[in-house]
Structure 1
Amino acid sequence: MASSYTTLCLILILSQSLPSSSSSQETSFLDQKPTAYEILGDYNFPKGMLPKGVVGYSLDTTTGRFSAFLNGSCSFSLEGSYQLSYKSSVNGYISQGRLSRLEGVSVKVFFMWVDIVEVLRNGDDLEFSVGIAGAGFPIDNFEECPQCGCGLNCGGAKRKASKIRSNPFVSSS
C-alpha cells in the first residue's frame, strides 16, 4: 500500500513539473509582444495615429521614449485638406494622453512642410502642435489607420465625412 502511495505521489509531482501542451501555448500567448497600435491604446490614443504597416517598435517604459518603424517613408492626403508625411522611423516620448518631442511626422501647411512636435489628448479631442500653431480634431477621426499613398480613401471606397476642418494650423494656440 505504501509503495502504491509513493508511486502516486511521484506521478503527481512529475506531472506538475512537466509542461503540458496547453500551458506552454498559454505561456507563449501571454509572452507575445503587443503591437504598436495596442501600445497607443494603452496610453489613451487611437490606433489611427499611425498608418498601416508599422513593422516594429521600441518602448522604454521607464522614460516613455518610443520609436515606431515603417517599411519606408509614407505620405498621404486626408479628406483633401491635409497632406501628411511619416519618415521610416517616428520617435518621441509617450505618456498618458501625451506624445511629445515627436520626430518623423510632418503636415503640409500652405506651401511648406512643418513637423508635428506634440499631440495631446483633451477629452474626446486630439490637439496637434507644430510649435507656434496647433489644431484640434475629434478623436473619432482616428479610429482607422490611414494607408500610405491613399490615406482613408483606398480602393475606391470613400470614408464617411468627418469633422476635419480645412487648415486650422494657421491660427496660433
Structure 2
Amino acid sequence: MSIFFLSLFLFATSLYVSCTNLTAYDVVQKYKLPRGILPEGVIDYDLNHKTGFFKVYFNNTCRFPIEGYKVKYQPIVSGFIKNGRISRLMGVSVKLLYFWLSIGEVTSDGQELELSVGAASEEFSVHHFDRSPQCGCGFYCRELKFSF
C-alpha cells in the first residue's frame, strides 16, 4: 500500500514541476492565443491562476514593425488572461501617425486576432503570430538582413 502512495506522490510532484516549468510562450498558447503576441526576450513572468492576472518581464523596451504599424512593449507588460482573451492590457502600445496609443485588449476566435485601442480595433490572421517577433525587426529579420 505504501508503494501506491509513494508512486502517487511522485506522479503528483512531477506533474507540479512540469506545470511550473512552462514558459510565458507556453502559457499564452495554453490560453488559446498565439505565441507571437509576445516578442522574443521574455526573461520571466508571474501568473495568478485564480484571477488570470499576469506580468511578463523583458530586459528593455522592445520596439518592432508589424503589418505597417510600429509596436512597443515596455519592460513590464501586465493584464488579465483567459481563454482567447487578454483584457486590461498595460505596457503594449502602437504608433498611429504621430501618437503612441495603448493596446487595451487582445481577443482571438482561433482564426483572427483582434487588437483593440480604445473604441478602435484591427484584425489580423492568427497565422501572422505563429512565431514571436524580434525586437528591432519584428517578423522581417531575415528579409532585412538580406536587403543590405
TM-score interval for Structure 1 and Structure 2 normalised by the shorter chain: 0.7 to 0.9
Normalised to the residue count of structure 2, the TM-score between the two structures is: 0.84
Aligned to 1:99: 86
User: The residue matched to 1:147 in structure 2 has which SS?
Assistant: coil
Say whether the 8 Å CA contact 2:31–2:82 is kept in structure 1: yes
State the distance in 2 between where 1:144 and 1:127 align: 17
Larger Rg: 1
Query: What amino acid is aligned across from residue 71 of structure 1 in structure 2?
Result: N
Aligned to 2:72: 85
Matched, 1:45 2:45: no
State the distance in 2 between where 1:157 and 1:134 align: 28
Matched, 1:65 2:53: yes
User: The residue matched to 1:120 in structure 2 has which SS?
Assistant: strand
Of Structure 1 and Structure 2, the greater strand share is in: 2
User: The residue matched to 2:141 in structure 1 has which SS?
Assistant: coil
Percent of aligned pairs with the same amino acid:
40
Where relative contact order (Cα < 8 A, 6+ residues apart) is larger, the structure is: 2
Matched, 1:34 2:22: yes
State the distance in 1 between where 2:80 and 2:19 align: 24
Listed as ranges, the gaps of 5+ residues in structure 2 are none
Match of 1:128 among 97, 115, 128: 115
Q: Deviations over 1:105-163 (max 9, x none)?
A: 000111111000001112400111001211111100000100011111224468xxxxx
